[in-house]
Amino acid sequence: MAFWKQFVLSLIVIAAGFAGWIFLVPRAADVLRNAGVPENLVAKVAPPVEPGGGASGQGEGAQGGGGRNGGGRNNAVLVVTQAVVQGVVNDRLNAIGTGDAIRSVAVTPQAMGTIREILIKSGDKVKQGQVLAKLDSEEQVIAKGQAEVALKSAIEKSNLYHNIKSSVARMDVFDAEIAEQGARLQLQAAELNLTRRNIVAPIDGIVGIVPVNIGDNVTTSTPIVTLDDRSEILVDYWVPERFANTVSVGQPVEVTSVARPGQAFSGEVQAVDNRIDAASRTLRIRAKIDNRADELRAGMSFNVSMKFAGDKYPAVDPVSVQWDSQGSFVWQVVDGKSHKVRVSIVQRNPDFVLVKAGIKDGDAIVTQGLQRVREGGPVRTGNELASNNGVKTQ
């Protein structure tokens, strides 16, 4: 036999076998659908399957024998449904932040010298203007005394020239007045230099560890002590880019600290950065936390939590989501019939799947009996069956 004849004969045998499989196997249509064959093509080539277990021709035989599987409600597929509920995504933000005092100053001297006295210790609370330490000031005291003597001499000379101005030149009187003013300025400069020998607190705050000792020579860049005003704590943290248009100044936040397990502190957003970090695609946020009880410290790490309105989506049972060659879908029951609704999964949770779809709260979605559900096919829910048996279902 020629090769082409063998090939044609093989195709005929395969086609005959496939047709026989379609018409003789009750669940052939299910296999075709699971393989991705379009529904309209399946409806043309495969006979409908009735609850009795056979094709339409077999169903008639069964009907003739017992009459139990005829048309109407008895042909409806028994399923269990669950109502669509509303789910929320992006309604809460958790981030890690670092705390800092609302004001922090590293105190340095305004002049060079040797420390002669330290008047504070670590942990002390100080007020603005309070003297923290003193430098040696002998030279400044002498300079102030010299300035006082010079001013006194200039005043006497100026007074004398004013009393005898009729017998002296006007220029001499003017020079005496200028000399007096210069002497006053010299005294002010001497007093300022003497004042700068005292190192004072520029803000109210709490003293940190004092790194210097009496007798140390210091310059204007030597840190004497660090003062922290921690009546409020600033917490800097970073949020994903998608929250950029959601976070606003004044929005409430809640923070917890490893140092205070189980205790939450309330605050609000103080500042929002003006740009997204290009490397991390995050936005810097600064929150302000009340700390009048002085329970928090600068440098602590914080877990920051924020609540938002979030985005609302329909939520369905995870087992109700099915897949075919075109993607994911669910079966919706409307007026006793099943309809395929395409869905796009937004977020998977342990109890629900949030989806984008043309369904709304309260819609009935099939969760059990999915294998026998068909597009436009009649269905009856487990609630109806339980009602017929006198059982109340929720």
Q: How far apart are CA 220 and CA 390, in angstroms?
A: 92
For 348-390, give the DSSP string: E-SS-EEEESS--TT-EEEEE-GGG--TT-BEEEHHHHHHHTT
Q: Are residues 239 and 283 in the same domain?
A: yes
- Within-domain flag for 285: yes
Per the model's pLDDT, the better-predicted residue between 10 and 342 turns out to be 342
Q: Are residues 248 and 293 in the same domain?
A: yes
- Within-domain flag for 108: no
- The answer for 335, left when phi > 0, alpha when psi is -120 to 50, beta otherwise, is left
- Please give the helix or strand (H or E) that residue 128 lies within, else none: none
**C-beta of residue 29 within 8 angstroms of C-beta of residue 46:** yes
Q: The CATH number of the domain where 352 resides is what? A: 2.40.420.20
Structural domain that includes position 338:
78-89+312-388
**C-beta of residue 211 within 8 angstroms of C-beta of residue 186:** no
Q: How far apart are CA 136 and CA 194, in angstroms?
A: 10
Instruction: Report pLDDT digits (tens) over 168-220.
Output: 677 777 888 899 899 999 999 999 999 999 999 999 999 999 999 999 999 99
- Within-domain flag for 250: yes
Beta strands across the sheet bearing 198-200 = 198-200, 131-135, 113-118, 217-218
Does the pLDDT value for residue 133 go beyond 90? yes
Q: Are residues 186 and 252 in the same domain?
A: no
Looking at residue 128, what is its pLDDT?
Answer: 94
Instruction: Report pLDDT digits (tens) over 137-160.
Output: 999 999 999 999 999 998 988 888
**Count: domains in the chain:** 4
Closest CA to 124 of 234, 223, 227: 227
- pTM for this one? 0.57
Does the pLDDT value for residue 113 go beyond 90? yes
